[in-house]
């Protein structure tokens, strides 16, 4: 199992609009690609003293690396461009790819 993790810090003044958009538009669009089998959206509750905004980690589960690569090739550019257009200058995001280790 592969986890595609997107960590986002969204400014407080855009938070409510962003969260509504994520829940009702963006996440359903990502899942509709068929490349992911599950997802979780987590909110960070620990903060650095000088940190501003709200931070979330969105974790998308893929059955295999090929599904992730297909998503990146076919769908990610347009979905990321839409996010940038809607919330440009109000968020910072970084992406990581993780492999689930089974015991």
Give per-residue pLDDT as tens, 5-24. 999 999 999 999 999 999 99
Query: Would you place residue 49 in the very low, low, confident or very high pLDDT band (cuts 50, 70, 90)?
Result: confident
Q: Is residue 86 part of a domain?
A: yes
Query: Under a CB-based contact definition with an 8 Å cutoff, are residues 43 and 10 in contact?
Result: no
% pLDDT > 70, the chain: 100
Strand order, beta sheet including 2-10: 38-43, 54-62, 2-10, 91-99
Expressed as residue numbers, the domain containing 43 is 12-48+78-103
Alpha-helical segments (H) within the chain: 12-21, 27-32, 65-74, 76-87
Q: Is residue 17 part of a domain?
A: yes
Q: Is residue 70 part of a domain?
A: no
Q: Is residue 83 part of a domain?
A: yes
Q: Is residue 55 part of a domain?
A: no
pLDDT at res. 11: 97
Q: Is residue 34 part of a domain?
A: yes
The number of folded domains in the chain is: 1
């Amino acid at each position: 199992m592969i986890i595609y993790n997107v960590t986002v810090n969204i400014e407080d003044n855009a938070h409510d609009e962003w969260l509504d958009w994520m829940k009702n538009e963006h996440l359903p669009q990502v899942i509709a690609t068929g490349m992911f089998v599950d997802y979780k959206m987590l909110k960070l509750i620990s903060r650095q003293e000088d940190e501003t905004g709200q931070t979330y980690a969105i974790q998308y589960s893929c059955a295999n690396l090929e599904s992730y690569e297909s998503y990146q090739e076919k769908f990610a550019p347009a979905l990321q461009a839409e996010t940038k257009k809607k919330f440009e200058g109000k968020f910072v995001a970084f992406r990581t790819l993780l492999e689930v280790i089974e015991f």
